[in-house]
Amino acid sequence: MSLLDHTLEELHTMLVNKETTAEKIMTAVYARISETEDQVGSFITLTEEEALVKAREMDEAGIDPENILAGLPIGIKDNIVTEGTLTTAASRMLEDFVPIYDATVTEKVKESGMISVGKLNMDEFAMGGSTENSYFKLTRNPWNLDKVPGGSSGGSAAAVAAGQVPVSLGTDTGGSIREPAAFTGVVGMKPTYGRVSRFGLIAFGSSLDQIGPFTRNVKDNAIVLNAISGHDPKDAMSHTEEVPDFTEGITDGVKGMKIGVPKEYMQEGGLQDGVKEAVLEAIETYKKLGAIVETVSLPHSKYGIPAYYIISSSEASSNLQRFDGVRYGYRAKDVESLEELYVKTRTEGFGPEVKRRIMLGTFSLSSGFYDAHFKQASKARTLIRRDFENVFEEYDLILGPTTTTTAYGIGEQIDDPIAMYLSDILTVPVNLAGVPAISIPCGFSDGMPVGLQLIGKHFDEKTIYQAAYAFEQATEFHKARPNL
């Protein structure tokens, strides 16, 4: 068995008992990356030298028996700021940006004792659903190298699925953790908005963005969320809600738990037969485990996609104004005026998907169109949030497919932005409402993983983990590995 096949708890026990060392684990990580990176393309930047030095230092100091994450490897999505390490957001605009500070979540990773392996590939500025929009490289799905890994956190998901790292961090603005988790057969959690600090995250949609972990099993995911959660005064939207131990009660099962299945999620016209079958079988598993599963309605979910793309693009057009060639980042050459510097820098520095969303957002916020577009989208958002609140008055969780299809082919949707946007139809309502949701493996369709989405009440990630763990223990899907 490879070192990387163990759970985080098993690795911790091995470290404490001196059956292995942090340096050996780190060496195994880089060996696996070396074997598979040419095929998968998960990483933009590797920090091997620094990681091995840190691992040796931890071995010499001794692993803290009370700190379950000490000495363990993690990959970090490349829109999360890391002091002294290239942070590009997969854009030409930031191709040489080396931050002078850490994001709060990066600080928490360091405080937990985890060691960063490197920065993971993504869609440029997190805009995309396939990780085909990176300026640097293409990331492939480890289950089928001709298919996308999902996006925008495709590098983060693919690295975990390929066994390159046991843990990675991604970001989720409209499904960018859950969709790639579903496409690559791993566990991906989008926490409640405000649960994890966004300070030091290169912003896309500030009212929607949230950082969360990818792992190969549910308990590992809960352990990592414990480490990165908490109030941060540097993030104005960071919540003061006390952070519980997400692993406490994780084995309590789902007997008597009430789970709602939105009829809108199961009736989507584009729901692939294999995906629907896997989710229906998952529902039966929950019933056998003692859960009460009933059909519910989220009637305003149909407005999720238009509302999301107006709101997120509007926020993106505002957030990306800072990239103008003046202060930092890419700067166009051979310009003769300030206006030409702005235009040429942004023309050359941004990719087509980023430009598309800036244009959409600027239009939606412009004089004469604000009321018709952004204001209406905000009203739709309120209705979507109320739908969730109404269901959660009677139910503990909401269950459904994470995506309407399994991973599609590379190049299949890249020239059809509307099709790409519609692939988020089951994930964006969660971000608009700010509630937490997880994607866990629940089966296969034509050899590709299918994801099951569990949605919870605000700040109730514990119940989500409890239900996810119960399903995982009753099935074998999380044990499947791609043949690389």
| Residue 1 pLDDT | 59
- pLDDT for 131-169, tens place per residue? 999 999 999 999 999 999 999 999 999 999 999 999 999
Q: Which of 54, 77, 219, 344 is catalytic?
A: 77
Whole-number percent of the chain with pLDDT over 70: 99
Q: Do the beta carbons of residue 308 and residue 174 sit within 8 Å?
A: yes
DSSP 454: E
- Which band of pLDDT confidence, cut at 50, 70 and 90, is reported for residue 418? confident
Cα angle: 232, vertex 202, 459; to 5 degrees: 40
The CA distance from 12 to 437, in Å, is 27
Amino acid at 185: G
Give the domains, in start order, of the chain with CATH numbers: 3-252+409-479 (3.90.1300.10)
Structure confidence at residue 351 (pLDDT):
97
In contact, 404 and 150? CB cutoff 8 Å: no
Give yes or no for a cis peptide into 176 (omega within 30° of 0).
no
Catalytic-labelled residue, pool 91, 134, 156, 176: 176
DSSP code string of 40-62: H--EEEE-HHHHHHHHHHHHHH-
Rounded to an integer, the average pLDDT of 391-418 is: 95
Residue 239's pLDDT band (cuts 50, 70, 90): very high
Calpha distance 364→317 (Å, rounded): 10
Instruction: Reply yes or no on whether the pLDDT at 269 is more than 90.
Output: no
Exposed e or buried b per residue across 6-27, where buried means at least 16 C-beta atoms within 10 angstroms of its C-beta:
bebeebbebbbeeebbbbebbb
Q: Is 152 annotated as catalytic?
A: yes
Q: Which of 42, 112, 130, 152 is catalytic?
A: 152
Lowest mean pLDDT among 78-87, 171-180, 412-421, 433-442: 412-421
pLDDT in tens, 371-397: 999 999 999 999 999 999 999 999 999
In this prediction, residues 358-362 reach a mean pLDDT of: 96
Residue 268 binned pLDDT confidence (cut-offs 50, 70, 90): low
Q: What is the pLDDT of residues 49-89, one digit of tens each?
A: 999 999 999 999 999 999 999 999 999 999 999 999 999 99
Strand partners, 77: 120
The per-residue pLDDT for 96 is 96
Which of 8, 211, 2, 27 shows the shortest CA–CA distance to 104?
211
- pLDDT the model gives residue 419: 86
The CA-based dihedral angle spanning residues 98, 57, 217, 121, taken in that order and rounded to the nearest 10 degrees: 20
pLDDT of residue 17: 97
Residue 216, pLDDT above cutoff 90: yes
Q: Which two tokens stand for residue 377?
A: 């989208």
Active site residue 378: no
Is 77 a catalytic site residue? yes
DSSP for 208-230? Answer: T--EEEEESSHHHHHHHHHHH-S
Q: Please write the tens of the pLDDT for every residue from 86-103.
A: 999 999 999 999 999 999
Question: Mean pLDDT, the chain, as a whole number?
Answer: 96
Residue 328 has pLDDT above 90, yes or no: no
Q: Provide the pLDDT for residue 415.
A: 87
